[in-house]
Structure 1
């Protein structure tokens, strides 16, 4: 009989994607009899505390990015670099204290580069081995990759949430020419695994809008979508990805607003909606693929990872995508019917059996 491990899992707080893809890992670790502690901040911690109210949680601040209102985020990211490096160092110091006080055996960090430590077994989850940057400065892409690998290889293992072979969702991001020495492909991660889908396919809504991600771009997209959807006769639900204290919006004749939704609620909403509209985040795409749902994906302007993923899945004829400043919902609703995601292999979580 294997010894029960004390495992700390901590997602990055940039939208809800990192936290949502950690949900099936936490569920499996609990099934295997391990003691799990969740650590994080913001809405990502709120999501995990909502999903797992029985688990101990620790506030562990992460780097909080704020995007610009324009099409490029490069300048904003560059001026934030010193703060980002400081946050990595702060995470490292805080983790050291948590490991000592909580007697942690394993740390699973979802895209938090400072959460490694020689006192325990440390794992980082990331699909972004290759960091896409604007073509105008693409000459530094290799330099960024070396810096990325420097931090990744501080961990005992790097889990890539994708399949090594086709069909894979991450494309070049998770399949560069050379991968880190400690990297292993673990398959897709989605909180909407098939055993969770007991809701049938009765359509109650025409459109489901799922919003998340850093401000002000989350709110900018929300305003654009409300303006366009208000002019068409489609029953729509907005899941705003905001906590209860965020400015509330009153329901209209054809639009209902929900501040925040747990996995059971969001699963039912997705299954009962004809079309989903969301950002082109990697975890969102994995979730939509798991539910075989047609979707309109809108990458965050200047967020090069999402822009790459949007182009990648559109070229594969898996999901229809449009740029935010070219958004035409009426046209997108007609086009989305031509796209279909292939069947994705269900994850058996064999990579957790060694714990």
Structure 2
């Protein structure tokens, strides 16, 4: 019996998770990445309970527990440092069946490459054209040695928010929307982080038009992110000095973290998401997955988590129903949940990033008044997901 073959375009979190999931059900999988190398890039990553359950389903739960830092809770603070909300870790695990982890994004990549054949990870391949046929799909790649075409039973388009394959399949789709803010991310190495004594509590601090998040991650490192509302294409100055000035009067340890961050770890990206809904995530034998299908803003901490869910669901539906019916089921399962969360993330981002003094004050007052049980229920939309049975 012939072994089914899949092409995965994109070696990010979603693409590698799809490779893991499809390989697990007996498929041959080749992953194509446009970057010249798959290296230790990125900053931190939160793995919420829904994604923890997905990784457990893929047989990677033990590796996550070994490499990730389990968080003791989630907190919201205001600029002077006052805590306005906290969800304890015990409540999260008891209610949703799994804890919350944080780790370096490069560590998550290494985890998801476990068991994949290195010869099936092909870099410097940029997808330029895709052709659907009744029983197979062909992708053409630009490579340093010229164009290369590959054919498979299934293609997973996991090539990000600016997906070239989505644009090729849906030329009339308007593309991603700017969320209204930019994000800096940095890593404080263990030798500098130790003195700061950062506890494993995922914390986000709110100001007017700005936020700052902190997470202790693997190997004694600390990950932080800083959001600032700016016009699209504003290209703020890309240096730590500017950030240190912007956050100099925020509560400890924010100034200290910025002072301890090596310049080379600093990353900045404007935030885009898919506000306009795709009518389908499936085109012939092509499945859009992760940010290519439903990019969310970071405001709900679910971008990577939803992509891992996608991967598990895609493999489960195909294993159960075959490629054609399985893809239809994948679309039916994933589109309502992920599109709802994309729109929610955009609205939440506008609220959290408001520069308006009155609106920000109302936001802070409401957050202070919400009881912990209500906060727990509010997270249920994301955290309560479970892998498909069968």
Length-normalised TM-score, structure 1: 0.36
Instruction: Give the structure with the larger strand fraction.
Output: 2
Which is bigger in relative contact order (C-alpha 8 A, separation at least 6)?
2
Higher Cα radius of gyration: 2
Length-normalised TM-score, structure 2: 0.34
